[in-house]
Amino acid sequence: MIIVLGLGNPGPRYLLTRHNIGFRVIDTLAAQYRIPLYKAGYHSYFGRGQAGGSEVLLAKPMTYMNRSGLAALALCRAFNVPTSALLVVYDDLDLPPGKIRLRPRGGSGGHKGLESVICHLRSEEFPRLRIGIGRPQGQDAAGYVLAELSEEEILEQEVVLKAAAEAVTVFVREGINTAMNLFNNR
């Protein structure tokens, strides 16, 4: 089984913010593969099903971004999944909007949610899918990532969400190297 953990903040206030693109990827996958996200536990809402020919668990932590590692650790332990089979999906200020990048491992790059995952797992050895949101000009990063998206930005993100869902499917079906080769240069 592969766990796909989308990072974000729970609640309607954060639904359409840049910081919640990880949640939105999970929602896109859940709709595409008809995997209901109705189970609550392990500090998250989650659902299990088939995607890309394999069993997957799609999850959204309910701990707020800075404590996402609680859900990552609880899910990996509960379902006996190694960190190599945990794909973390999150927003990245250092990538332009619309760009996605997969990596097999690495540091947090200053992302507080990813820092929490690394801290709780005590490892940087897990794959991740970074989704570009761009760095704000003349605005503090916290305000930028938590600001609600404009209608135009929501429409632009639909293309990114589809590409990210496709990248997750390739990751599940063929592994990180194939997914990186297909999506990191787009």
Which residues does the annotation mark as catalytic?
19
In angstroms, rounded to a whole number, what is the distance separating the alpha carbons of residues 166 and 135? 25
Q: 96-133 b/e with 16+ CB inside 10 Å = b?
A: eeebbbbbeeeebeebbbbbbbbbbbeeeebbbbbbbb
User: Could you tell me if 89 and 36 are in contact, meaning their C-beta atoms sit under 8 angstroms apart?
Assistant: no
User: Could you tell me if 80 and 74 are in contact, meaning their C-beta atoms sit under 8 angstroms apart?
Assistant: no
